[in-house]
Amino acid sequence: MEQKVSENIIIELKGLTKKYGYGDTESFALKDFDLTIKRGEFIMIMGPSGCGKTTLLNIIGLLDRATYGDYNLNGENVAGISASRQAKLRAKKIGFIFQNFNLIEDLSILENVALPLVYTGRSKTSRLKSASTALKRFHLQEKEYYLPYQLSGGQQQRVAIARAIVSNPEIILADEPTGNLDSRASKAVMEELSAIHKEGNTIIMVTHNPALTVYATRVINMLDGAIDTDIKTVSDANLPQPVSVKIVKKLPEPKEPKKRKKRKNSRRKK
């Protein structure tokens, strides 16, 4: 029984503190921060500028480290692990979405989406195939060979979501993902995130827009590096369960038809 409860906990932060500066310049981006997150939660984090939201997300995403405190990810204490172990875990378990999309300007849309798979050791063809599948999900298959600047903001953010989910991570972190989008593009992005959540993934998203909290199962307000209010709008029992067939792996790996060489149509599939 005990076991089962803890299996549902995906992230556990205890006494997490992030300190900048020393002496007179000392300040705390996070102060003695405790948070337990269950699999399948969609958490929205709100709070005034400078209250520590990005710091929190970066630490959860293993992009940054706390000055002290504990961080358990799937039961493994990751606070003190090596940078290379952090990078491996990050590649496997975590997808990021940023306010400014953070696409690489001189890579095609397809190459951008395939980027997180570099760490998997899979062949380039297989990586691009998965990226293509991910883009299809967001109806962006026509844009595969475009460069980021040729897409609208809303399209770029959907590319960024495709990149975030291409490796099937269980956790999606989004730092103000709709901050640079108009309301129509925001809605499209939120609908995609909501669909990803309903497949049983855990999402932690920072936003300034209270209207978006309708998508959340839990809303946390932060103040001065700590939790001010923490409200669950969906009970734990009603959180979505992980679906066994996942987003990108849905398509079987391509079985190269070895002998069948067609002259006219090259095997390069769009």
From ligand ADP, Mg ion, none, which one binds at residue 25 (CB under 5 to 8 Å depending on kind)?
none
* Shortest Å, Cβ 27 to ligand ADP: 6
Smaller CB distance to ligand ADP: residue 52 or 95?
52
* Shortest Å, Cβ 41 to ligand ADP: 20
Smaller CB distance to Mg ion: residue 54 or 157?
54
* Shortest Å, Cβ 30 to ligand ADP: 8
Smaller CB distance to Mg ion: residue 172 or 248?
172
The binding site for ligand ADP (CB under 6 A) comprises 20, 29, 47, 49-55
Q: Which of 54, 112, 178, 207 binds Mg ion (CB under 5 A)?
A: 54
Smaller CB distance to ligand ADP: residue 46 or 239?
46
From Mg ion, ligand ADP, none, which one binds at residue 29 (CB under 5 to 8 Å depending on kind)?
ligand ADP
* Shortest Å, Cβ 180 to ligand ADP: 15
Residue 168: Cβ-neighbour burial (10 angstroms; 0-12, 13-18, 19+): middle
* Shortest Å, Cβ 194 to ligand ADP: 23
* Shortest Å, Cβ 52 to ligand ADP: 4
Q: Token digits for 263?
A: 């002259």
Question: Cα(first)–Cα(last) distance of the chain, in Å?
Answer: 49
From ligand ADP, Mg ion, none, which one binds at residue 119 (CB under 5 to 8 Å depending on kind)?
none
Cα dist from 16 to 28, 117, 229, whole Å: 11, 30, 17
Smaller CB distance to ligand ADP: residue 53 or 197?
53
Residue keyed to tokens 């999606």: 172
Residues lying near Mg ion in the complex (CB under 5 A): 53-54
